[in-house]
Each structure stands twice: as C-alpha cells, then as structure tokens.
A and B are shown apart, each in its own frame.
Chain A
C-alpha cells in the first residue's frame, strides 16, 4: 500500500473511501440504525396505536379540557389527615408493618371522580378516598378507593374507550346514546358492572360512604404465603341515603362543605375490612364482585380528624399510586393496576410542571383541627 507509511494514513480520506471501507461503513450504519430502530420501537414511536400512559392522559385532557396544575382524574378534592389503629388481625395475612398492632399516621384525600376541578358536587358523582399510611419504620402504603362496589371496566383499553364514549355531547350535555350503546356492546362486562353500581344506593355524603379497593391485591405473610384480597373502608358513621329533591340546595360544593363541617364537629372513622379471596375468585377483573360469603377480616380503624384545602406539599403533591406498596402487600394480575400506576405517574408529572391555581374546595380558617 503506497500510503501505509505516512502517520495518518489509516485515518486519511483516501483510506476511508476505499471500497472495503465504504462497505464497512454500510455495515456499521446498518448496525447502529438497527439498534436505534429497536429503541424507537420500544419507546412506541413506531406504534401510533399503542395505548400508552401519555395517550391515556391525552384522552382525559381531550374530554375534560385543559386544567393545568390539577389531577387529570379525581381533579376536585380536599386533603385530610389522621391515623390508623391496627388491631393486629391483619398479620395473619400480611407481614406489612401497618398491620402490626399500633397506630400509623395517615394522610389522605377525598375527591370526586372526573377530570373537571370545578365540577359541581352531585349525587351521581363517584366519590373517592385516597390514603397514604406512613409507618414510622418505613413501608409506606398508598391506596385509592371508590364508593362503588365494582369498577365499570376490566382493562385499560376499555377505560380509554369509555372515556370517549361517556363524553357529554356539547349539544345535549349527555353522552351520545348511540356511541354509549356501541361501547356497551363491545364491553358487555361493563353493562353488568353498571347494573351492580346502579343497584347500590348512594349515601348522603363523603362521611357515611364506604370505599372499596375494587382491584384485587395479594397479601403476603411472614412465611411468604400469598393470599388474594380486596379491601374496603367501611364507614362507622351510619348510612343515610341521598335526600330527595335538589341536591345541596344549589351549593356546588355541598358534599365537600358537609365533610369539612362534619370534621369540625369531631373525627370520622372507617373500619378497614379485608375480603379474603378463594381460588377461582377473579383477581384480574375489577368488574366482577367476589361471592358475598367470602371471609371478611377487620384489621383496624381509620380515624380522620384534620382537613385542609389542597396546598403546596400536602395531599395535592402526592401521587396516590396504587402500587406504592410495602413488603407484605403486592400487586395481583389485575391489568388495571400497572396501568393506573403508569397513568397516575404521567398525570402527576404533567401537573407537577404546571402553574397551580387554588382548588374549588376551600376550608375556612380554623378548619384544621377537630
């Protein structure tokens, strides 16, 4: 090779345009491009129809409009705090620190399902209770529960489709019946679930409602034994049905205002009841109830005695991701769980970076203590 002796010959232009070098560049380019394409595929760039957390949250924003700074779902809410007294009965099923006998601090949030932070309280709105149990030695447990007996959909895709199907028509203010009918035909288990939900009377307020995990989880005991479970926060306050007539007398915050007033009079309590699943009980389908005769284990009592409006650093800035679980509680095979975790994270990230405006629910001064 005539140029082999010069110092930069291997790196010189003449060396790089030889046919063999050009062929090598093609091979190198193909390898690098193949790796880059694999990255793009995994990232969903090549799959515009893949249901991702970004597309799920985009759909919330599509049907509810932009509400920067607020949760994309359960947007209207208020912060609460209190404690959980464990009676120790849960230790038989789970090694989680929160089930050891004793008291655990709790912060939480009551909210209405829906992505409109200024929606008017109404009797048909699903109410939710989100909690973060914070044992002193670590092992935080977060859970978000609703006051309905089963969830209307079983899969993330069905949830995504439901959002659009249930979107109110601007002309009538109600969902398009044809679209809803098509949705229910496609997801027959939703019709089943909606009948169960409709059959349960609504309570008059947040305080006397009971809240259900809906999704199944697994409790793991100290020996590693795993048990499918669902759980409920059963109101100690006696059930009272939603009164007839115009709800709240025109106060768009009547449910939240009543909760604040009730917490000012004194603490509110719920019993944490664990339902123990049996082999064959559906753990991957939140639309289906478990048989009523399943064992129920009361593991302790939640007491809430503080309430405050959402503000920096309080429940507003907590992602009540249902898969923030301590050792002793684990996810089931319910596909909604990972999807909730993913979508909540995207919602949290988006609102974290946006300017905040005050919640529609405000707590008058002096409302903190019970």
Chain B
C-alpha cells in the first residue's frame, strides 16, 4: 500500500515500466527511420512494443481512476500545477495516440501488422494511400511531440528532486525520499 503522498505500488510499476518502454521506443523509432542495416529488426520490435504500450496505457488510465495520484504540494504555485497537469494529459494522449495512429497507418498502407510469429493485428482502416500518407506524417509529428514532452517531464522531475526538493519526485521514486529529506534538512540548517 502507498504511504501518504506516494503513488500506489501498481502506479509506480506501470510508470517505470512504461518509462523504459517509451524511452526505448523513441530510440527505436528514430533509429529505424535512419538505418538501412537495422531497419528490418527495429521495425519488427517497434510494432509489438507499440501494442504493449497501448495495452499498458489503457491499464494505467483505469488504474489512475481507481487509484488517484497523490495531490501536488499545496504550496506549489498554480501556474506550475497547471503546467504539470497539462503535461500529464499530453503524455496520456500521446501514449494512446501514437500506437493507434501507427496501427491505423499500417492498415491504410495495407501492410500485414505482424506482432511476432503468426500473431498479427487486423486492419482498422481501409487501404487508402492518401490516408496512409497523412497518418504517417501524424505519427512523426506526434512522436516528436512525445519526445519533447518526455524531455520536459525528465527535466521537471529532476527539478522537483534537485531544486524544489518537494514531495513530487519521491512520490514516484520512494527510494529518493530519505535522501531528499536529509538533504533538505541539511540545507535548511543555516551554516555559521
């Protein structure tokens, strides 16, 4: 069970698992678009990981409704709270949209959507190359937005941990709690 001010264990497992998967997918996606030698292998793992992320983000949304996240620190300025919440909405939207757009664009291109071995997804859109082109561009734009949001999220998390030293970072990374508190106390003690 979660201590007060901490994300529940399931939420933390989902967060850190998806963090690793999304970081990997950003590298795989960027790499496969610029690699002749490894393109085939990278595409072959890009599809199943994308589907895994789609499943996990659905689980995660349900979990978020069942186990709401701890509130942000009461003294956090409203503007910062708004930016934090907006960035989380953006991350959820992108985690849903990217796999769905990817699935849709492969459908519109009439590619078989192979996960592994004989396991494949059915098409969700008709064969239409104009639609494919639009979705393919959308996939790239959304991926770059996710990349930017990911970097902002990383920067914000580190700012909470190292500069604000509030409860935000330890709420998702409880192992950092003790260290943050000790350092905060040390900082709070005036040196003479």
Contact = CB atoms under 8 A, between A and B. Distances in A.
Nearest to A141: B112
A318 B132 CA distance: 12
Nearest to B184: A10
B187 A54 contact: no
Interface stretch (B4-12, B30-38, B63-71, B93-101): B30-38
Interface in A334-365: 335, 337-339, 341-343, 345, 348-349, 351-353
Given A39-B27, A352-B133, A32 B154 contact: yes
Contacts of B163: 15-16, 21, 24-25, 28
A327 B119 CA distance: 10
Interface in A92-120: none
B51 interface: no
Given A4-B188, A10-B166, A42-B34, A317 B129 contact: yes
* Chain A residues touching B, majority SS: helix
Interface in A4-33: 4, 7-11, 15-16, 20-21, 24-25, 27-29, 31-32
Nearest to A23: B162
B95 to A, nearest CB: 18
B142 to A, nearest CB: 15
A16 B133 CA distance: 46
A36 to B, nearest CB: 6
A353 B39 contact: no
A1 interface: yes
B155 A32 contact: yes
B154 A31 contact: yes
A370 B43 CA distance: 40
Contacts of B159: 24-25, 28
B15 interface: no
Contacts of A54: 33-34
Given A52-B34, A327-B118, A342 B27 contact: no
A140 interface: yes
Interface in A23-66: 24-25, 27-29, 31-32, 35-36, 38-39, 42-44, 50-54, 56
A102 to B, nearest CB: 18
Given A39-B26, A43-B33, A1 B190 contact: yes
Contact of B36 (A38, A42, A52): A52
B184 to A, nearest CB: 9
Q: Which one of A9, A51, A341, A352 has the highest number of Cβ atoms from chain B below 10 Å of its Cβ?
A: A352
Interface residues of B, number: 51
Contact of B164 (A1, A10, A35, A44): A10
Interface string B96-119: 000000000000011110000110
Nearest to B38: A338
Contacts of A247: none
Contacts of B77: 8, 11
Given A43-B31, A138-B120, A353 B137 contact: yes
B34 A32 contact: no
B36 to A, nearest CB: 4
Given A8-B77, A319-B109, A352 B127 contact: no
A342 B151 contact: no
A220 to B, nearest CB: 11
A342 to B, nearest CB: 4
17 contacts: A1-B187, A7-B74, A8-B76, A28-B155, A32-B155, A32-B158, A39-B26, A39-B147, A44-B35, A138-B118, A313-B127, A317-B127, A338-B38, A339-B37, A339-B39, A341-B39, A352-B133
Interface of B: 26-27, 30-41, 43, 73-77, 80, 109-112, 117-118, 120, 127-130, 132-134, 136-137, 147, 151, 154-155, 158-159, 162-166, 187-188, 190
Given A32-B154, A52-B35, 4 more contacts: A138-B118, A323-B40, A345-B39, A348-B129
